[in-house]
Amino acid sequence: MGTSRTGAAGAASRISVSRTGRTAPAPRTGLKSPPSVSPSLPLDQILLGDCIANLEKLPAESVDVVFADPPYNLQLEQSLTRPDHSLVDAVDDDWDKFASFADYDAFTRAWLLGVRRVMKKNATLWVIGSYHNIFRVGAALQDLNFWLLNDIVWRKANPMPNFRGRRFTNAHETMIWASKSADAKNYTFHYEALKAGNDDVQMRSDWHLPICTGEERLKGEDGRKVHPTQKPEALLARILLSSSNPGDVVLDPFFGSGTTGAVAKKLGRHFIGLERDPAYAKAARARIDAAEQLSGVSIAAPPEKRAEVRVPFLALIEGGHVKPGETLVDERRRYTATVRADGTLALDSIVGSIHKIGSLVQGLPACNGWTFWHVKRDGKLVCIDDFRAKVRAEMAA
Amino acid sequence: MGTSRTGAAGAASRISVSRTGRTAPAPRTGLKSPPSVSPSLPLDQILLGDCIANLEKLPAESVDVVFADPPYNLQLEQSLTRPDHSLVDAVDDDWDKFASFADYDAFTRAWLLGVRRVMKKNATLWVIGSYHNIFRVGAALQDLNFWLLNDIVWRKANPMPNFRGRRFTNAHETMIWASKSADAKNYTFHYEALKAGNDDVQMRSDWHLPICTGEERLKGEDGRKVHPTQKPEALLARILLSSSNPGDVVLDPFFGSGTTGAVAKKLGRHFIGLERDPAYAKAARARIDAAEQLSGVSIAAPPEKRAEVRVPFLALIEGGHVKPGETLVDERRRYTATVRADGTLALDSIVGSIHKIGSLVQGLPACNGWTFWHVKRDGKLVCIDDFRAKVRAEMAA
DNA sequence: TCAAGGCTTGAATCGGCTC
DNA sequence: GGAGCCGATTCAAGCCTTG
């Protein structure tokens, strides 16, 4: 999306985006602790200058999610349009050609390392590209010990046709979603909300969205498009909604026309944009100033199952929902167990948790006792998970 | 698809596939001159043994198209269970184990070099992979001076769900289509036929096809699948129909269950299969013997499987038909809910899909949110299902 | 670090059954 | 006697979190 590349002037200047400063706090839910935001972060600003130099000025482990639309390296085509070589020659002797890929790889490693340093432990990174560069980016990510979570295909609803009829219509771009390392497992992913917004089926790795046209496309005074590869806001919205929370800090090292910043503002996220070209930065700033944050309820962090308070089975006994000595039974009435006063179950002489006894009677390695066990109430079976929901509601009230 | 890896026994044996030998000439079109077929080629045979050693025995510049399904380097850490605690039958064969990325890269370069030598000047190569390996393969192709023509996305109609809810459903695989070099411009590509078979619009780079199940899936005597990653014949058919001619020689260096051979025979192409595992080779041979060549007229590009028609509610927001923060109301204006940016609805502090919230407010077990919810437009209520119809029309256009 | 809690599908196919 | 429905089965993997 942007042009922040190596070789630009060293000094970076800041373009403050006035109306989205820290004075507008992002909406918070009561469930999560506020995100830790480093006080020295240039929030909601565009840093002008070389991408890698500016990355080095940001504090380590300070951003929650990164979206990067690096240069696609299309200029390589020219250096590769050459007479055929035998393969050994191509690798050993054609230094010029090899150097082009090596240059791109070195640039890729440099900005990835810079980004890696400023990512929080459980931050994730999105990179978008086409077949010209995405394979090199993906390999570099793996080499640098990033952990690939998904590759996402953006299927363009209205792609550019192939004019020569010599290839398939190039109708998609590829995004890679990665965490800092394989053991950074506590990254943000709003599984439940994505599923609910997708007709109650899981969100897939192929996304169907239109390219950026019409009103949304930034035009200069001459009526021509400001930026050649402006990404649609719907794409960034899905990315930020799926992998960030309100109040999070979103970094875009190739800010370009500022789609990331505009969507971040609308969705109540903070952004930091790096951009080398002053003309792009200026257009992006105006665009973001004109954007408005959506109302709280429509962008508040969705509730997550995992964040719900833990209710021990003992609390059901203490709350009078289940009585010691009562018999639990599975839905198909094949197995029974007896409730003990300490919140364990008894099966003959074996005593264990609702999960342990549930797995034992079924001969399975694991069992969610909450959904497995039932009690009789008014002649009907009631799942003990219903009582847990009641206890949770009582605790919240 | 196969297991031809380095380190196998040196001597290669040939498994002749009797009924598809050279005695059955492939059908010819009148348009092109007959292909030049090297007399020493082991046509329609499966060569048992190490993939790279066998490649070295084939004559240079002798094959017209290559399809390769190399090991994916999945690096599975532990076993995975479904929500019902049954065990997922995954790829854990030792041919998919590599010690490091460097090992995998060396293996990739070795077989790519071997393949490159036997490709005719204008031959093309298809490689399929997932995000675990495809970036490394793509970078290696570029490093070896192959010229990438397209990356093609196989969108699986019926992918495996994500059981843990920690990622997007991995619903696609990626194929790279490449020529030997940038100036090999006279490769085979049936642009017109593909377009005609695709409702007269250009064939795109995203293909929607089901995975291999049912009758087509090879089963052993024990009723279990013969090969863990058998590819669907429809996928290979589209590949061979788009980028080869009848009578051409198709090489598959990882032959596996022999999908490439079966489809090549059906479509009147010759094949050469390399496979390391005798059990796979035997199953593939039997499968190919049972296949029959289609009549000339029926060897036409398969029509695109009708694109999915399911439209998630989120698509209405992304398409600008409904705005985040807007209020939805039922036809009798008894209930309201607020649209969230992620495509869910909010009712007080409860968040869920249009269906879930619809059923909740009515106290019913189920609700079709599409017909239940409305928005105000010009003072009148408009059903959100009307917008879904519009989005469908846009997707079809 | 280890043990335990507890949370997690969707599409296709096929056999058997009902209208 | 089919068409159609229902439920069981099948197939797919870089898939957890807390104390």
Say which nucleotide is closest to residue B159, CA to C1' distance.
D12
What whole-number distance in Å separates Cα of residue B121 and Cα of residue B60?
A: 10
Residue B308 predicted with pLDDT over 70:
no
How close A107 comes to chain B (CA, Å)?
15
Q: Is the CB of A154 under 7 A from strand C?
A: no
State the pLDDT at residue B25.
44
Are A343 and A323 contacting, i.e. CB atoms less than 8 angstroms apart? no
- When pLDDT is cut at 50, 70 and 90, the band that residue B15 belongs to is low
DSSP A286: H
Contact B85 A366 (CB under 8 A): yes
| Local structure of A263: helix, strand or coil | helix
Under DSSP, is residue A198 helix (H, G, I), strand (E, B) or coil? coil
B342 contacts A200? CB cut-off 8 A: no
Q: Label residue B38 by pLDDT band (50, 70, 90).
A: low
pLDDT (tens digit per residue) in A193-237: 999 999 899 999 999 998 888 888 998 888 888 887 899 999 999
Which residue, chain included where needed, has tokens 């230094």? Answer: A95
CA to C1' distance (Å), from B182 to C9: 44
Lookup: tokens for A375:
């009690």
Amino acid B134: pLDDT: 95
Q: Is the CB of A147 under 7 A from strand D?
A: yes
- Classify residue A266 by its DSSP letter: H
Whether CB of A305 is under 7 Å from strand D: the answer is no
Cross-chain CB nearest to A197 (options B85, B135, B342): B342
Instruction: List the structure tokens of B375.
Output: 């928005």
What is the b/e burial string over B123-154, where b = at least 16 CB atoms within 10 angstroms of the residue's CB?
A: bbbbbbbbbbbbbbbbbbbbbbbbbbbbbbbb
Q: Is the Cβ atom of B166 within 7 Å of strand C at any atom?
A: no
Amino acid B343: pLDDT: 95
Residues contacting residue A266 through CB under 8 Å, at least 6 positions apart? A233, A237, A291, A292, A293, A294, A299
Instruction: Read off the DSSP letter of residue A319.
Output: T
Using the structure, give the distance in angstroms from the CA atom of B172 to the C1' atom of C14, rounded to a whole number: 26
Contact B135 A137 (CB under 8 A): yes
Tens digits of per-residue pLDDT, B131-147? Answer: 999 999 999 999 999 99
Nearest-CA distance from A231 to chain B in Å? Answer: 13
Strand, helix or coil at A242?
A: helix
Inter-chain CB proximity A204 and B171 less than 8 Å: yes
Least confident of A45-49, A387-391, B178-182, B298-302: B298-302
Is the confidence at residue B276, as pLDDT, over 50?
A: yes
pLDDT in tens, B93-136: 777 778 889 999 999 999 999 999 999 999 999 999 999 999 99
The string over B216-254, giving b where at least 16 C-beta atoms fall within 10 Å of a residue's C-beta and e elsewhere, is: eebeeeeeebbbebbbbbbbbbbbbbbbbbbbbbbbbbb
Cα–Cα distance, A124 to A146 (Å, whole number): 9
Confirm if A108 and A138 have CB atoms less than 8 A apart: no
* Residue in B with minimal Cα distance to A101: B143
Contact A197 B165 (CB under 8 A): no
pLDDT of residue B9: 36
Contact A290, A268 (CB under 8 A): no
Strands of the sheet containing B380-383, edge to edge, are B350-352, B345-347, B336-339, B327-330, B373-377, B380-383
Distance from CA of A13 to the nearest CA of B (A): 34
Specify whether the CB–CB gap between A200 and A143 falls below 8 A.
no
**Dihedrals phi, psi of B289, to nearest 5 degrees:** -60, -35
Joined together, the tokens standing for residue B327 give 């209020």
Tens of pLDDT, residue by residue, chain A (397 residues): 444 443 333 334 556 543 333 333 433 333 344 456 666 899 999 999 999 999 999 999 999 999 999 998 764 444 443 333 433 333 333 333 435 888 899 999 999 999 999 999 999 999 999 999 999 999 999 999 999 999 999 999 888 877 678 899 899 999 999 999 998 989 999 999 999 999 899 999 999 998 888 888 998 888 888 887 899 999 999 999 999 999 999 999 999 999 999 999 999 999 999 999 999 999 999 999 999 999 888 998 888 776 678 889 999 999 999 999 999 998 878 889 999 999 999 998 899 999 999 888 888 878 889 988 999 998 888 889 889 988 888 877 6
Return the pLDDT at A33: 43
The shortest C-alpha distance from B43 to chain A (Å) reads 26
Spatial distance between the Cα atoms of A116 and A123, rounded to a whole number of angstroms: 9
Nearest residue to nucleotide C9, by CA–C1' distance, is B161
Helix (H, G, I), strand (E, B) or coil at A250: strand
φ/ψ of B103, rounded to 5, equals -60, -45
What DSSP designation does B311 have?
-
Task: From residues 173-212 of B, list those within 7 angstroms of strand D by Cβ.
Answer: 211
Nearest CA in chain A to B182: A81
Structure tokens at B195: 């377009």
Strand pairing category for A373-377 and A380-383: antiparallel
* Chain B from 255 to 314: CB within 8 A of any A CB: 310, 312-314
Q: Which of residues 23-42 of A touch strand C (CB under 7 A)?
A: none
Element at A16 (helix H, strand E): strand A13-16
Task: Give distance CA A193 / C1' C18 (Å).
Answer: 40
Structure tokens at A344: 């364990």
Contact A192 B165 (CB under 8 A): yes
CA atoms of B142 and B121, how far apart (whole Å): 17
Alpha-carbon distance B117 to B63, whole Å? 10
- Any chain B CB within 8 A of the CB of A81? yes
Is-contact B195 B134, C-beta < 8 A? no
> Which residue is closest to B122 within chain A, CA to CA?
A84
Residue of A nearest to B188 (CA): A166
Residues of chain A contacting residue B85, judged by C-beta atoms under 8 Å apart: 364-367
Distance from CA of A233 to the nearest CA of B (A): 8
- What percent of chain A lies above the pLDDT cut of 70? 83
Mean predicted lDDT score pLDDT of chain A: 83
Least confident interval from A11-20, B62-71, B282-291, B320-329: A11-20
